[in-house]
Amino acid sequence: MRSLDEIRTALEACYSAIGDLCADLSDADWRTQSLCPDWVVRDVIQHVVSIEAVMAGWLPQDDVTPPPFQRAAEFLAGTDDPATLVDKVTGVFAERRRDLSALTAADLDRPSWMPTGRGTYGRFLEIRVFDFWVHVRDITIPLGRATDDGGIAAEIALGEVESSIGYIAGKKVGVPDGSGISFRLTGPVAREIDVAVDGRAKQVAHLDNPDAVLTTDSTTFIMLASGRIDPQAQIDTGAVTWSGDAELGERAARNLRFTM
């Protein structure tokens, strides 16, 4: 788990990214189809900020009780109007910034309900960073807007994918027993992620001779793993390439998705 300062910095970057978008979206932009099939840009912002509204002022007391999700309806009321939505986003982020400033390192270790099961509040906040980071690109990619894809928020987002890399390689890609694959990420978050299969697939520190090497940038990797972008389009543009076992490499390029 990341440190308190790192989590604060990452969430602040996420809040700023959404806030900056809200201040600069045209009427047409709010209605633009996002990378989420059923949501336009407005829906994405409503969703991601409504969860922060639910978490405002809340600290977990155990690992089975979720935050008060009924608060989401209060936040969403009237937010089909972009001006109302922007005002509410500003208010929620102000509350959450106050929460984060009062947070202690010990609070990160609090047992907490999480969307993925039981865990700690720190892990829940890391999942929030991942959710924000992906949803920002759900908006900016269709709008053709540049984003800063490096920094601690990107590292935390990538960490969420990396934590499931054994499942991705073993179950989604189907790397055979006795084989290994390397994912080489060229940046903005440069990383080598190696997986070996010995009965089951698991991440290892390094593979000298992986059967296949898949190479891409960290943003493409995360967005493919999140099921947001078309693998074929990334292959066609050369954003994803592979070497070694061609069949395994291509299978990896097409089957990174583990969540949506």
- Domain 164-254 matching CATH 3.30.1050.10: the answer reads yes
Q: What is the CATH number of domain 4-144?
A: 1.20.120.450
Angle at 139 between CA 129 and CA 121, to 5 degrees: 15
Parallel, antiparallel or unpaired: strands 212-216 and 180-186: parallel
- For residue 130, give every residue at least 6 positions away whose Cβ sits within 8 Å of its Cβ, in sequence order, or none: 156, 157, 160
Token pair recorded at residue 186:
């060229």
Average pLDDT over the chain, rounded to an integer: 97
Q: Does residue 194 contact residue 204 with C-beta atoms inside 8 Å?
A: yes
SS3 184: strand
Q: CA angle, corner 76, sides to 49 and 142, nearest 5? A: 55
pLDDT digits 0-9 by tens, 34-82: 999 999 999 999 999 999 999 999 999 999 999 999 999 999 999 999 9
Residues 6+ apart with CB under 8 A from 50: 72, 75, 76
For residue 165, the number of C-alpha atoms closer than 13 Å in the C-beta half-sphere is 23
Question: How confident is the model over 96-112, as pLDDT tens digits?
Answer: 999 999 999 999 999 99
Predicted TM-score (pTM) above 0.85: yes
Query: End-to-end alpha-carbon separation of the chain, Å?
Result: 23
- Is 102:63 a contact under the CB 8 Å cutoff? no
Residue pLDDT, tens place only, 223-233: 999 999 999 99
Q: Give me the residue spans of the domains in the chain.
A: 4-144, 164-254
